[in-house]
Amino acid sequence: MAEKRSDDMTLAPERPATQAPETAGLIDIAELVFQNFPGHRAEILGGQLTVTPPADGPHGESLTAIMAPLMACGLHRDETRIIQAIGIWLPTGDDDYAVPDLAVVDADYRDHHAQYNCYDPAVFRLVLEITSSNRSDDLLKKPGAYAHAGVPVYVIGDRRAREVVVLTDPRGDEYRSRSLYRPGETFKLPASVGAVVELEVDAVLGPER
């Protein structure tokens, strides 16, 4: 039960706080975020730690709407798996990693564990982000990071701009192909994902806020 001080300010229930070691690195701090801030997502991009609070309900609805046709096309069977919030180890820095909202990975991804509950980018066929409070990372930082890691397809559902961006053909730290789709339209994912999948932009973006 929460305690009250004499000034009637309500305090959260006490729980032991994990302390960072004196020589803590970014990974150590990310672990502290995981332990002390449930639901928050810590990522390290370009040597910088970013922490994202829990997304809203419509964000989760969009992910469910996307997973349905992916599963219907057999992408969660023999050769591939569809996984939400799976860590991808990035080659852009010593401790860099990201946690995309959704990914299609090779079925043997468990054999390619890298570090810190993250997996080798070679097993990722697609990563997808639905924008929330970390929109600038999804639009500006992650395209270069995912391209550098060689992820073949990066899909961004930009809820604020009401558009879906599909990035393919990674070369160096950029994607050479960029396709833009707006509400009312449909788009197909590249067959390299593991199946020909058609998605509706409205389903990816969810209702306008």
- What is the per-residue pLDDT for 66? 97
pLDDT digits (tens, 9 = 90+) for 45-59: 999 999 999 999 999
pLDDT higher than 80, residue 69:
yes
In this prediction, what percent of the chain has a pLDDT beyond 70?
89
What are the chain's domains? 55-205 (3.90.1570.10)
Strand partners, 97: 44, 89
- What is the per-residue pLDDT for 160? 96
pLDDT higher than 60, residue 169:
yes
pTM above 0.75, yes or no: yes
Arithmetic mean of pLDDT, 191-205: 96
- What is the per-residue pLDDT for 112? 98
pLDDT digits (tens, 9 = 90+) for 18-43: 454 555 688 888 888 888 988 899 99
- What is the per-residue pLDDT for 158? 98
pLDDT digits (tens, 9 = 90+) for 73-119: 999 999 999 999 999 999 999 999 999 999 999 999 999 999 999 99
- What is the per-residue pLDDT for 101? 98
- For residue 140, the one-letter residue type is L
CA 98 → CA 25, 65, 67, 201, distances in Å?
Answer: 16, 22, 20, 24
Round the average pLDDT of the chain to a whole number and report it.
89
DSSP state at residue 10: B
Other Cβ atoms less than 10 A from the Cβ of 49: the count is 15
